[in-house]
Chain A
Amino acid sequence: MTAFAPSPSESALRRLSDLLIARPGLLLMLLLTPPLLWLGVVYLGALFALLAQSFFSIDEFSGTIVYQPTLATYAELLAPANLDIIVRTLVVALVVTALAALVAFPIAYYAARYARGKVKALFYVAVMMPLWSSYLVKVYAWKLLLAKEGAVTWLVHAAGLTRLLDLWLAAPLIGGPSLSVSYTGMVLTFLYLWTPFMILPLQASLERVPATLIEASDDLGAAPGQTFRHVILPLAAPGLIAGSIFTFSLTLGDYIVPQIVGPSSLILGQAVYAQQGNAGNVPLAAAFCVAPIAIMVVFLALARRTGALDAL
């Protein structure tokens, strides 16, 4: 060996360091093993266990799970009532996502392009606080606001718009006996909950649009609308996609909001919850889960292609 070899009196740590530096692959493996074991075993293991159950069925009479591979559960999933639930949930998720993008864009754009220094910090905190505040407290707030005798009704009355609200509530589908048991109320609550998740990635991607690019477009004679459509929107797309991953995923997976605010017809999260809970039909619940998983996998693949994953 050479003069630069470890001496016998050295600490074991220093020798271990020698080994790890000589074999970077070993170091990488040591670093990755604990988190991979955790996520691979706890998370993926549970996920596959769940998906496997969707290929079993439930015995109608005894209510126990029959451990024989079958596609019967998927046939049940495609029954009109269940398909209804999936379609209804998708529509709600789409509406929420579109509205969230509309509410989020001006905030994100202002924060990214015009806000500087203190104002910018204020904007950031103003988005972070509602994002991280307690989910249940936020849902609760909307229950209070939308209640028949609550603040929204009071405000509408004070503004002399009671007739308009009554007309809205009388409308099919979006209306209902009161805001708190209508789709309008449910979408509003979802919108409120998930909009911050849209703002942050959107702002991050807008920050990366250099101001000179917008000026260049203006300089080349584009009207503001054209600049928006041809320059800002394409460059903001990764942020929009990343934000949509959140709004979509969160809406698909929620069963608490529709339980507290909204009409009596189930959406996906509630259906899953009910199937695995009261009904005890875990295979059907698992099959229901395949729908959001499939949608999110498509979304993630799309996000990877556009580089939106870095914006998450």
Chain B
Amino acid sequence: MPSDARKTVKKPGRSPLGLRLAAGAGLAFLHLPLAFILLYAFSNEDKSFQFPPPGLTLRWFAVAWDRPDIWEALALSIRVALLSTGLAILLGTLAAAALSRARFFGREAISLLFILPIALPGIVTGIALRSAFNLMTMPFSFWTIVLGHATFCIVVVYNNAVARFRRLSPSLIEASMDLGADGFQTFRHVLLPSIGTSLLAGGLLAFALSFDEVIVTTFTAGQQRTLPIWMLGELIRPHQRPVTNVVAVAVIAVTALPILAAYYLTREGEHVAGAGK
């Protein structure tokens, strides 16, 4: 019987060589450029982008460490990302809770509204916010940056949360109420633990997104400099290229951590939920 079955299945899990080569080349294309950045951070050559670097040094890490402008930009970026993430978690979760199950008139339009900030080009969001601030004669501040960032971070949290809400069996909530828990107790003891990891994952991704954002930020920051704005300045009018290289490596390291953490958080959830499928 098993041998018969194998005969009818023509390609049992063996991938064609061409496909493997194409996939491998594609992945190499996605990763090699980042490796070059790493290499350049240690280059002892500071005028051009000469390849291969004539020699390697750790000197630029020390130089970057002593630059107060970098620390200020980093601090602003982190403050903006934290607040935007917090707002996005709150608003995105509320939206997901409302839209994951309920069926009502206008539901589709509303869910489209939530993905609009990432579906429309960032420059449109940026310039729209800027002209709105101008119309209302709102001066640029920490808050104008947060306003923009939270807007596109909501969708990241929303997407994560809505997927988890949909996998949640509605009878869990009924069971909790059946056992005497009111709506708020059910939220605290059943709902929150069930969606917690997906909220955390969405929050981490939102943090990474905000920490890195530059397109919208240039329109809403005024004279303030977040770390990406600082880098953009260095890219267009370089002052000290090796320092930029070092900051680039640091940024890769800082964003990689929340992304990996978010991956592990959602992966565990998938496994538990997948068992029931």
Contact = CB atoms under 8 A, between A and B. Distances in A.
Given A35-B95, A312-B115, A296 B121 contact: yes
Interface stretch (A80-88, A161-169, A231-239, A281-289): A281-289
A110 B260 contact: no
Contacts of A111: 23
Given A31-B94, A154-B52, A137 B36 contact: no
A202 to B, nearest CB: 12
Given A129-B256, A150-B49, A137 B37 contact: yes
A42 B26 contact: no
A150 B51 contact: yes
B263 interface: yes
B30 A126 contact: yes
A47 B124 contact: yes
Most buried by A among B48, B51, B256, B260: B51
A305 interface: no
Interface stretch (B6-14, B56-64, B67-75): B6-14
A66 to B, nearest CB: 15
Contacts of A18: 182
B191 interface: no
Most buried by B among A134, A139, A293: A134
Interface string A114-134: 100000010111111110111
B29 A192 contact: yes
Contacts, number: 275
Interface in B212-239: 212-215, 228, 231-232, 235-236
B31 A137 contact: no
A14 B177 CA distance: 12
Nearest to A111: B23
Interface string B237-268: 00000001000100110011001100100010
- Chain A interface mostly: helix
A182 B97 CA distance: 48
A253 B26 CA distance: 25
B172 interface: no
Nearest to B87: A38
B102 interface: yes
Interface residues of A, number: 96
B273 interface: no
A272 interface: yes
A104 B26 contact: yes
Contacts of B190: none
Contacts of A20: 183
A219 to B, nearest CB: 7
A77 interface: no
Contacts of A136: 212, 214, 228, 231-232, 235, 248, 251
Given A32-B95, A39-B154, A144-B40, A106 B120 contact: no
B121 A250 contact: yes
Given A110-B15, A134-B248, A215 B10 contact: yes
B192 interface: no
A13 B182 contact: yes
A141 B34 contact: yes
B13 A114 contact: yes
Contacts of A151: 36, 51-52
A114 B15 contact: yes
Nearest to A282: B131
Interface residues of B, number: 92
A215 B9 contact: yes
A228 to B, nearest CB: 11
Nearest to B122: A253
B150 A134 contact: no
Given A28-B104, A32-B110, A34-B91, A140 B119 contact: no
Contacts of B94: 31-32, 34-35
A140 B128 contact: no
Contacts of B131: 46, 49-50, 53, 276, 282, 286
B83 interface: no
Given A34-B94, A46-B129, A110-B23, A149 B255 contact: no
B175 interface: no
Interface in A30-65: 31-32, 34-36, 38-40, 42-47, 49-50, 53
Interface in A277-312: 282, 285-286, 289, 292-293, 296, 299-300, 304, 309, 312
Contact of B36 (A145, A219, A289): A145
A103 B256 contact: no
B120 A249 contact: yes
B129 A273 contact: no
10 contacts: A32-B98, A46-B132, A53-B131, A110-B20, A133-B252, A142-B33, A150-B51, A151-B51, A218-B10, A219-B10
